[in-house]
């Protein structure tokens, strides 16, 4: 039986702290680098690494690829969802402008997108297309995809056959790994989610 394993690793803490970063290309903070190396400690079973092009993912993926001598590729489709006018703003800044805006977004993220944000269905489609291609190309391998919380939420929602609007009910910690296994006998299985133990 052929089993394909996909580990989705969220980047560590970026410089600038918590904010709706979206596609702003902030690098990892020093703490973010520590989080990432901790996440990649212990067993390193990966046979291929794929990274978002944004530097908070790409820089670590490059370093890990060199350390493990594992091939690396970048895929634009694994970049974070575009947050439009929210990009670069903190939750407090958004609440100061409109106290109800965040509640509306999380209650219905499809209909209450920030102005100029990437539509959620289009985002989900690009993530699904990237995953499908990666899994088909690397069938039977153990992949590591270094990416963003939104991408991981979209992937898990897809493989759980959950409604797209429910994706923000998933909490994805920085430098956490979510694993998906795909075999020929049953639907894809989410094996665990959380920070890797050392």
pLDDT recorded at residue 1: 87
Q: Is 178 exposed, middle or buried (0-12, 13-18, 19+ CB in 10 A)?
A: buried
Between residues 104 and 185, the one the model is more confident about: 104
Which domains occur in the chain, in start order? 4-82+119-195 (3.40.50.1240)
Give the pLDDT mean for 170-188.
93
pLDDT recorded at residue 43: 83
Give the pLDDT mean for 112-138.
98
Q: Is residue 20 scored above 90 in pLDDT?
A: yes
Give the pLDDT mean for 44-58.
97
The residue length of the chain stands at 198
pLDDT recorded at residue 142: 97
Token pair recorded at residue 146: 């270094």
Adjacency order of strands within the sheet including 4-10: 72-74, 48-51, 142-147, 4-10, 176-182, 189-195
Give the pLDDT mean for 165-185.
94
pLDDT recorded at residue 10: 97
Q: Is residue 113 scored above 80 in pLDDT?
A: yes
pLDDT recorded at residue 195: 61
């Amino acid at each position: 039986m052929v089993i394909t394993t996909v580990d989705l690793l969220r980047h560590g803490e970026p410089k600038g702290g918590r904010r709706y970063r979206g596609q702003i290309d902030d690098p990892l903070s020093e703490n973010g680098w520590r989080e990432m190396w901790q996440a990649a400690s212990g067993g390193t079973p990966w046979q291929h690494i794929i990274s978002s092009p944004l530097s908070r993912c790409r820089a670590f993926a490059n370093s890990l690829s060199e350390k493990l001598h594992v091939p690396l590729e970048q895929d634009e489709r694994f970049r974070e969802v575009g947050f439009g006018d929210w990009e670069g703003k903190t939750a407090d800044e958004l609440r100061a402008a409109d106290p109800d805006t965040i509640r509306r977004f999380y209650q219905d993220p499809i209909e209450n997108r920030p102005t100029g944000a990437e539509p959620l269905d289009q985002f989900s489609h690009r993530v699904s297309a990237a995953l499908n291609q990666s899994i088909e190309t690397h069938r039977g391998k153990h992949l590591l995809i270094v990416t963003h919380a939104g991408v991981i939420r979209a992937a898990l929602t897809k493989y759980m056959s959950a409604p797209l609007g429910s994706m923000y009910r998933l909490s994805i910690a920085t430098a956490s790994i979510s694993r998906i296994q795909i075999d020929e006998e049953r639907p894809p299985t989410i094996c665990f989610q959380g920070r890797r133990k050392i």
